[in-house]
Amino acid sequence: MKLRFLINAFGVYFLTLILISCDSVQSNPTPEQFSNAPDTIIQEVRISDTCFYNYAWLEEVTSYQSLMNIIRTPLNYYRGSNHDNSFASWLCHLPISSNEKVYLYDGQEKYNQNAQFKVINIDVGTKDLQQCADAVMRLRAEYLYSTNQFDKIKFNYTNGKTIAFNKWQQGHFPKLVGNNISWVASSSNNGSYQSFRRYMDNIFTYAGTSSLSKELIQVESIKDIKAGDVFIRGGFPGHAVIVVDVCENKENNDKCFLLAQSYMPAQNIHVLKNPNNLKLSPWYSIKEIEDYVITPEWTFDVNELKRFKE
188-210 pLDDT, tens digit per residue, is 999 999 999 999 999 999 999 99
End-to-end CA distance of the chain: 47
The stretch 85-102 carries a mean pLDDT of 96
- For the entire predicted model, the pTM comes to 0.85
Q: Residue 68 has what DSSP assignment?
A: H
Q: Are strands 299-301 and 292-294 parallel, antiparallel or unpaired?
A: antiparallel
Q: What is the pLDDT at residue 47? A: 54
Angle at 142 between CA 138 and CA 143, to 5 degrees: 120
Q: What is the pLDDT at residue 17? A: 29
Would you call the peptide bond into 282 cis, given omega within 30 degrees of 0 as the criterion? yes
Q: What is the pLDDT at residue 29? A: 46
Pick 59 or 112 by higher pLDDT: 112
Report domain extents, the chain. Answer: 2-124+215-307, 132-143+152-213
| pLDDT band for position 41 (cuts 50, 70, 90) | low
- Asked if residue 4 has pLDDT above 50, the reply is no
What is d(CA 29, CA 123) in angstroms, rounded to the nearest whole number?
30
- Asked if residue 154 has pLDDT above 50, the reply is yes
What is d(CA 241, CA 135) in angstroms, rounded to the nearest whole number?
8
Q: What is the pLDDT at residue 80? A: 86
What is d(CA 277, CA 308) in angstroms, rounded to the nearest whole number?
29
Q: What is the pLDDT at residue 63? A: 76
